[in-house]
Amino acid sequence: MSRLPLQQTRYNSAQVAVARGMAAAFGGSWRAFSLQWLALLLGFYLGSNLTSFVMVRIPGGRPSTVLLMVLLVELLIRLRTRVVRDRPPLGWVICDNLRIGAVYAVVLEAFKLGT
């Protein structure tokens, strides 16, 4: 007996999209994969260390640092959406991973502080 084809439901479409994304993430070269992970970890490191260093140096403390970080992240997002239309090259993926790691570090720090 042959299997019937799956219906094109939203769940099936989402499942196919996730499978394609996972295949694209793990299907590239080892160099690109390791650079992406290193950028994510480096972004986390920079986000956790630089924010605490910058908070002390900038007048205004935490609100100024958070505003500066939000503006920088928003600028990177807007710049990427205007420049890259299709699949982004490795440089933009590394920039995105740096941004994601830094934002994750700041959010984790906020949860630790309870603010």
Q: Where are the domains of the chain?
A: 29-113
**pLDDT score, position 38:** 94
- The pTM (predicted TM-score) of the whole model is 0.69
Query: What pLDDT digit, counting tens, does each position of 66-79 carry?
Result: 777 788 888 888 88
Query: What pLDDT digit, counting tens, does each position of 21-60 carry?
Result: 777 767 778 888 889 899 999 999 988 887 777 777 777 7
Angle at 107 between CA 64 and CA 45, to 5 degrees: 90
CA end-to-end span of the chain, whole Å? 60
